[in-house]
Amino acid sequence: MKLKHPINAHKGLTAPVILALMGIYHNFSTAPWIYLALHGGYGFLWLLKDRIYPDKRWEEDISLGLGFSLFLFLGAYWIAPWLLISSGLQPSNFILAIAVFLNIVGVFLHYSSDAQKYFTLKYQPGLITDGFFARCRNTNYLGEFLIYGSFALLSLHWLPFLILAGFLFGVFLPGMLQKDKSLSRYPEFERYKLHSGFFLPKVFEPSSGSINEEHS
Protein backbone atom coordinates (compact mmCIF):
# COMPACT_ATOMS: atom_id res chain seq x y z
CA MET A 1 0.00 0.00 0.00
CA LYS A 2 1.17 3.51 -0.80
CA LEU A 3 0.60 6.54 1.37
CA LYS A 4 -1.73 8.00 -1.24
CA HIS A 5 -4.17 5.07 -1.15
CA PRO A 6 -5.89 5.82 2.20
CA ILE A 7 -5.79 9.54 1.39
CA ASN A 8 -7.41 9.02 -2.02
CA ALA A 9 -9.95 6.64 -0.51
CA HIS A 10 -10.97 9.27 2.00
CA LYS A 11 -11.26 11.98 -0.65
CA GLY A 12 -13.26 9.72 -2.98
CA LEU A 13 -15.65 8.57 -0.25
CA THR A 14 -16.41 12.07 1.02
CA ALA A 15 -19.31 12.73 -1.37
CA PRO A 16 -21.00 9.33 -0.71
CA VAL A 17 -20.58 9.82 3.05
CA ILE A 18 -22.22 13.25 2.92
CA LEU A 19 -25.08 11.90 0.81
CA ALA A 20 -25.52 9.05 3.27
CA LEU A 21 -25.67 11.52 6.17
CA MET A 22 -28.29 13.55 4.32
CA GLY A 23 -30.35 10.38 3.87
CA ILE A 24 -29.91 9.18 7.46
CA TYR A 25 -30.98 12.52 8.94
CA HIS A 26 -33.51 13.32 6.17
CA ASN A 27 -31.88 16.68 5.70
CA PHE A 28 -31.91 17.80 2.08
CA SER A 29 -31.99 21.52 2.74
CA THR A 30 -29.80 24.07 0.97
CA ALA A 31 -26.80 24.02 3.34
CA PRO A 32 -26.09 20.26 3.08
CA TRP A 33 -26.29 20.43 -0.70
CA ILE A 34 -23.83 23.33 -0.77
CA TYR A 35 -21.56 21.46 1.62
CA LEU A 36 -21.77 18.39 -0.62
CA ALA A 37 -20.80 20.46 -3.67
CA LEU A 38 -17.82 22.07 -1.91
CA HIS A 39 -16.36 19.13 0.02
CA GLY A 40 -17.35 16.50 -2.54
CA GLY A 41 -15.98 18.68 -5.32
CA TYR A 42 -12.72 19.12 -3.45
CA GLY A 43 -12.36 15.34 -3.16
CA PHE A 44 -13.07 14.87 -6.86
CA LEU A 45 -10.45 17.46 -7.78
CA TRP A 46 -7.94 15.75 -5.50
CA LEU A 47 -8.38 12.46 -7.38
CA LEU A 48 -8.18 14.30 -10.71
CA LYS A 49 -4.96 15.99 -9.61
CA ASP A 50 -3.49 12.63 -8.63
CA ARG A 51 -4.00 11.46 -12.20
CA ILE A 52 -2.70 14.61 -13.91
CA TYR A 53 0.09 15.89 -11.66
CA PRO A 54 0.59 13.53 -8.70
CA ASP A 55 2.58 14.50 -5.62
CA LYS A 56 5.63 12.29 -5.15
CA ARG A 57 5.30 12.60 -1.36
CA TRP A 58 2.29 10.28 -1.43
CA GLU A 59 4.11 7.49 -3.31
CA GLU A 60 5.84 6.20 -0.16
CA ASP A 61 5.12 2.57 0.74
CA ILE A 62 3.36 2.05 4.08
CA SER A 63 1.95 -0.91 6.00
CA LEU A 64 -1.70 -1.89 5.86
CA GLY A 65 -2.10 -1.02 9.54
CA LEU A 66 -0.66 2.46 9.08
CA GLY A 67 -2.88 3.01 6.06
CA PHE A 68 -5.99 2.06 8.02
CA SER A 69 -4.95 4.32 10.91
CA LEU A 70 -4.38 7.20 8.52
CA PHE A 71 -7.83 6.69 7.00
CA LEU A 72 -9.41 6.85 10.46
CA PHE A 73 -7.33 9.93 11.27
CA LEU A 74 -8.57 11.72 8.16
CA GLY A 75 -12.11 10.76 9.11
CA ALA A 76 -12.00 13.65 11.57
CA TYR A 77 -12.71 15.88 8.57
CA TRP A 78 -16.14 14.22 8.25
CA ILE A 79 -17.21 15.57 11.63
CA ALA A 80 -18.06 18.94 10.06
CA PRO A 81 -20.71 17.58 7.66
CA TRP A 82 -22.11 15.34 10.39
CA LEU A 83 -22.54 18.31 12.73
CA LEU A 84 -24.16 20.42 10.02
CA ILE A 85 -26.52 17.76 8.73
CA SER A 86 -27.47 16.15 12.05
CA SER A 87 -28.18 19.48 13.77
CA GLY A 88 -30.57 20.71 11.09
CA LEU A 89 -29.19 24.23 11.54
CA GLN A 90 -29.17 26.52 8.54
CA PRO A 91 -26.23 28.89 8.06
CA SER A 92 -27.24 32.42 7.13
CA ASN A 93 -26.82 33.59 3.56
CA PHE A 94 -23.85 35.65 4.73
CA ILE A 95 -22.12 32.54 6.18
CA LEU A 96 -22.88 30.59 3.02
CA ALA A 97 -21.39 33.34 0.86
CA ILE A 98 -18.23 33.62 2.97
CA ALA A 99 -17.77 29.84 3.00
CA VAL A 100 -18.14 29.57 -0.77
CA PHE A 101 -15.75 32.48 -1.27
CA LEU A 102 -13.10 30.96 1.02
CA ASN A 103 -13.48 27.61 -0.71
CA ILE A 104 -13.06 29.05 -4.20
CA VAL A 105 -9.96 31.01 -3.20
CA GLY A 106 -8.55 28.00 -1.37
CA VAL A 107 -9.10 25.62 -4.29
CA PHE A 108 -7.48 28.11 -6.66
CA LEU A 109 -4.39 28.56 -4.47
CA HIS A 110 -4.03 24.89 -3.54
CA TYR A 111 -4.42 23.19 -6.90
CA SER A 112 -2.89 25.92 -9.06
CA SER A 113 0.25 26.24 -6.94
CA ASP A 114 0.66 22.46 -6.88
CA ALA A 115 0.38 22.46 -10.68
CA GLN A 116 3.02 25.18 -10.98
CA LYS A 117 5.35 23.25 -8.66
CA TYR A 118 4.86 19.94 -10.49
CA PHE A 119 5.34 21.18 -14.04
CA THR A 120 8.14 23.64 -13.22
CA LEU A 121 10.20 20.98 -11.48
CA LYS A 122 9.46 18.49 -14.24
CA TYR A 123 11.11 20.65 -16.89
CA GLN A 124 13.38 22.96 -14.86
CA PRO A 125 14.43 21.61 -11.45
CA GLY A 126 15.55 24.23 -8.99
CA LEU A 127 14.23 27.08 -6.90
CA ILE A 128 10.71 28.44 -7.69
CA THR A 129 10.36 32.04 -6.59
CA ASP A 130 7.82 33.38 -9.07
CA GLY A 131 4.11 32.90 -9.67
CA PHE A 132 2.25 31.46 -6.69
CA PHE A 133 5.48 31.23 -4.68
CA ALA A 134 6.73 34.77 -5.24
CA ARG A 135 5.37 36.13 -1.96
CA CYS A 136 4.46 32.97 -0.04
CA ARG A 137 6.53 29.81 0.36
CA ASN A 138 3.56 27.61 1.25
CA THR A 139 0.73 28.75 -0.99
CA ASN A 140 -0.57 25.19 -1.35
CA TYR A 141 -0.84 24.75 2.42
CA LEU A 142 -2.58 28.13 2.73
CA GLY A 143 -5.08 27.09 0.08
CA GLU A 144 -5.83 23.81 1.84
CA PHE A 145 -6.29 25.65 5.13
CA LEU A 146 -8.84 27.99 3.53
CA ILE A 147 -10.68 25.03 2.01
CA TYR A 148 -11.09 23.24 5.32
CA GLY A 149 -11.81 26.55 7.02
CA SER A 150 -14.83 26.93 4.74
CA PHE A 151 -16.08 23.47 5.77
CA ALA A 152 -15.64 24.33 9.45
CA LEU A 153 -17.52 27.59 8.98
CA LEU A 154 -20.49 25.81 7.42
CA SER A 155 -20.72 23.39 10.36
CA LEU A 156 -21.71 26.21 12.74
CA HIS A 157 -19.74 24.48 15.49
CA TRP A 158 -16.41 25.05 17.24
CA LEU A 159 -15.20 21.43 17.00
CA PRO A 160 -14.21 21.46 13.28
CA PHE A 161 -12.16 24.61 13.94
CA LEU A 162 -10.36 22.79 16.76
CA ILE A 163 -9.71 19.83 14.44
CA LEU A 164 -8.40 22.17 11.75
CA ALA A 165 -6.06 23.79 14.28
CA GLY A 166 -4.80 20.32 15.19
CA PHE A 167 -4.04 19.55 11.54
CA LEU A 168 -2.43 22.98 11.11
CA PHE A 169 0.03 22.53 13.96
CA GLY A 170 0.36 18.75 13.83
CA VAL A 171 0.58 18.17 10.05
CA PHE A 172 0.85 21.39 8.04
CA LEU A 173 3.42 23.18 10.22
CA PRO A 174 5.92 20.25 10.37
CA GLY A 175 5.61 19.88 6.59
CA MET A 176 6.27 23.58 6.02
CA LEU A 177 9.25 23.59 8.38
CA GLN A 178 10.69 20.52 6.67
CA LYS A 179 10.31 22.20 3.30
CA ASP A 180 12.15 25.31 4.48
CA LYS A 181 14.92 23.09 5.83
CA SER A 182 15.19 21.32 2.48
CA LEU A 183 15.25 24.59 0.52
CA SER A 184 17.91 26.11 2.79
CA ARG A 185 20.56 24.15 0.86
CA TYR A 186 20.23 26.67 -1.96
CA PRO A 187 22.44 29.77 -1.53
CA GLU A 188 19.63 31.97 -2.92
CA PHE A 189 17.15 30.78 -0.31
CA GLU A 190 18.02 33.37 2.36
CA ARG A 191 17.34 36.25 -0.03
CA TYR A 192 14.13 34.60 -1.22
CA LYS A 193 13.06 34.04 2.39
CA LEU A 194 13.29 37.79 3.11
CA HIS A 195 10.77 38.55 0.39
CA SER A 196 8.29 35.71 0.96
CA GLY A 197 5.97 34.83 3.80
CA PHE A 198 6.13 31.47 5.55
CA PHE A 199 2.37 30.81 5.49
CA LEU A 200 0.75 34.14 4.61
CA PRO A 201 1.96 36.17 1.62
CA LYS A 202 4.08 39.27 2.16
CA VAL A 203 1.65 41.56 0.39
CA PHE A 204 3.69 44.72 0.66
CA GLU A 205 7.09 43.19 -0.04
CA PRO A 206 8.51 43.38 -3.59
CA SER A 207 8.97 40.07 -5.37
CA SER A 208 12.47 38.65 -5.16
CA GLY A 209 12.60 38.26 -8.89
CA SER A 210 13.23 35.03 -10.67
CA ILE A 211 15.54 32.75 -8.81
CA ASN A 212 14.06 29.29 -9.46
CA GLU A 213 13.32 27.23 -6.36
CA GLU A 214 12.67 23.59 -5.69
CA HIS A 215 9.84 22.46 -3.44
CA SER A 216 10.27 19.10 -1.77
Domain membership of residue 215 (yes or no) is no
Domain membership of residue 61 (yes or no) is yes
Domain membership of residue 122 (yes or no) is yes
- Structure confidence at residue 126 (pLDDT): 87
Mean residue pLDDT across the chain? 93
pLDDT for 46-62, tens place per residue?
A: 999 999 999 988 999 99
CA gap 70, 10 in Å, rounded:
9
**Mean pLDDT throughout 192-196?**
93
Domain membership of residue 203 (yes or no) is no
| Residue 156 and residue 82 in contact, taking contact as beta carbons nearer than 8 Å | no
- Structure confidence at residue 206 (pLDDT): 54
**Radius of gyration in angstroms for the set of CA atoms belonging to the chain, rounded to a whole number:** 18
Please give the model's pTM, rounded to 2 decimal places.
Answer: 0.92
Ramachandran sector of residue 59 (left: φ over 0; alpha: ψ -120 to 50; beta: rest): alpha
Domain membership of residue 199 (yes or no) is no
Q: Please give the residue range of the domain that contains residue 159.
A: 4-194
Q: At what angle do helices 4-24 and 64-74 cross, to 10 degrees?
A: 40
Domain membership of residue 164 (yes or no) is yes
**Mean pLDDT throughout 122-144?**
95
The helix/strand/coil state of 68 is helix
Give the range among 53-57, 106-110, 167-171 with minimum mean pLDDT: 53-57
* pLDDT for residue 133 is more than 90: yes
Domain membership of residue 200 (yes or no) is no
| Structural domain total, the chain | 1
Greater model confidence, 115 or 204: 115
Domain membership of residue 216 (yes or no) is no
Helices (H), the chain: 4-24, 30-35, 41-52, 64-74, 79-87, 93-123, 139-155, 159-167, 173-183, 189-194
**Mean pLDDT throughout 193-197?**
93
